[in-house]
Chain A
Amino acid sequence: MRNKVTMTVDGLEISVPAGTTVLDACLDNGIYIPNLCHLDGMEHPPASCRLCLVEVDGMRGPVTSCTLAAVDGMVVHTNTDEVRELQKLAFRMLVSCNQGNCRVCMANKRCDLQQIAKFLHLPLRTKQMRHIPKDVPEVLTDHPCIVYEPNKCVLCGRCVYVCERRGNPFSLSFANRGFNTIVTFFGSEAEGVEDACRDCRACVDICPVGALSFADERERHLRLVEAGKGRRKAG
């Protein structure tokens, strides 16, 4: 079972265990491909962020690397013009309905969106598309201890995925549709949810953009920022 496959990525030869996805193979070998919705070990990657595109010799058009298994002799290009164009388009669409204040955000400087923006040389606000924030409140506090900020959320689904896997009595899910899709805490008022969520932390820790946070931690953070200590702390 210890089969290894060898593939070429951007002219670099790498060898990975058979069955690895192209995305994982590249990330493990220090080749960065922007991605938001992918998590290690996903059986059926949603491939919904449309950022992890690559071109493969012999395949028509760019393909999502998270759904592509590495094959021996594969020749992959991660930075062709077409790939970059599509990634930029996907990114612009993401930020066109996204709104957050990085300065006071808990995820500042460890935010995947910031990292991808830097990687693609794009600002976090796009001028090429109309900015349409979601028609929802800025902060949702349905959950007894977790706060959700829908306008920061990129709807990658990581939190929903990890929460389902934990098998907690309560589970996160998507609600509504289209522009107004949010992650919902419906049912979190049930007994025992607060303690279980406090112990688990999975969704808060996996969120790439800091849209989920513990209410008390967030408050402490905002107070620190307010007091001007935030910058020193984060640095």
Chain B
Amino acid sequence: MNDTAYAAERQPDPEEEQVLAVIETEIPALPRDEHQLIPSLQGIQNRHGYLPRGGLVMVARHFGLPASKVYGVATFYNQFRFNPPGRHPIKVCLGTACHVRGGDIVLENFERKLGIVEGETTADREFSLERVACVGCCALAPVVLVGEKVEAHVTPSKVEGVVTQVEIENEMAVRAAEREEQCHGKTD
């Protein structure tokens, strides 16, 4: 996975601080055997959805390993991610059929539209972008999964559509909430 190891500017993130605080409480319960490093990392990712960088440092301290070693292990395996999953995880299929039908162009479109690269999450945690290998509906290539929903025959204009739709849904939810509040205000 092309992670953001080299993203130079990293802002403090209140949500991440919370996750780190929880991880800190979990650390003492981990085994100290070096062989249990990968299962420990898997556990953290299962509970929190990703491996925050600060968490890797804590794990390294617990195991008595250099932080870079733990980081090296984690980046070696595709299953580990270093960015929190977005509320709308976008998975671009790059299986054979989708690759042939231009899946990489679709991925590039999303990267440009969202301003992130594969493996990253937008700053508002709305979208995360990753590549997957075959979601099992090659006849619909190129395919993109938005959350659980399958988008078929994706084109650059559809990429815009997917992002816009999520934005519209969010906007609608906000307005509905506002309306609700106003109604309640009147009845009170």
Contact = CB atoms under 8 A, between A and B. Distances in A.
Contacts of A173: 66, 68-69, 71-72
A172 interface: yes
Interface in B29-65: 53, 56-57, 60
Nearest to B77: A177
B27 to A, nearest CB: 16
B139 interface: no
Contacts of B68: 170-173, 175, 184-188
A186 B2 contact: no
Q: How large is the interface on A (under 10, 10 to 19, 20 to 34, 35 or more residues)?
A: 20 to 34
A28 B184 CA distance: 89
Nearest to A135: B2
Contacts of A136: 6
A90 B5 CA distance: 29
A137 interface: yes
Contacts of B70: 186
Given A171-B68, A187-B67, A176 B76 contact: yes
Interface string A127-162: 000000001110011100000000000000000000
A163 to B, nearest CB: 9
B75 interface: yes
A141 B7 CA distance: 10
A28 to B, nearest CB: 33
Given A173-B69, A175-B68, A141 B8 contact: yes
A48 interface: no
A180 B68 CA distance: 16
Contacts of B6: 136-137, 140, 142
Given A137-B6, A171-B66, A175-B5, A187 B75 contact: no
A102 B110 CA distance: 37
Contacts of B76: 175-177
B71 A187 contact: yes
Interface string B58-97: 0010000011111110011000000000000000000000
A141 B9 CA distance: 11
A234 interface: no
Nearest to A178: B76
Contact of A175 (B57, B60, B72): B72
A177 B74 CA distance: 10
Contacts of B53: 186
B72 A184 contact: yes
A134 to B, nearest CB: 11
Interface in A175-226: 175-177, 180, 184-188, 190
Interface in B1-19: 2-3, 5-6, 8
A136 B6 CA distance: 8
A186 B8 contact: no
A81 B180 CA distance: 83
Contacts of A137: 6
Q: Which of A171, A176, A177, A187 has the most CB of B within 10 A?
A: A187
A173 B76 CA distance: 12
A171 B6 CA distance: 18
A176 B69 CA distance: 11
A177 B75 contact: yes
A187 B57 contact: yes
Contacts of B57: 187, 190
Given A135-B2, A186-B70, 19 more contacts: A136-B6, A142-B5, A142-B8, A170-B67, A171-B68, A173-B66, A173-B72, A175-B68, A175-B71, A175-B76, A176-B5, A176-B76, A177-B76, A184-B5, A184-B71, A184-B75, A186-B56, A187-B68, A190-B67
23 contacts: A135-B2, A137-B6, A140-B6, A142-B5, A142-B6, A164-B66, A170-B68, A171-B68, A171-B69, A173-B68, A173-B69, A175-B72, A175-B76, A176-B5, A176-B76, A177-B75, A186-B53, A186-B56, A186-B70, A186-B71, A186-B72, A187-B67, A187-B71
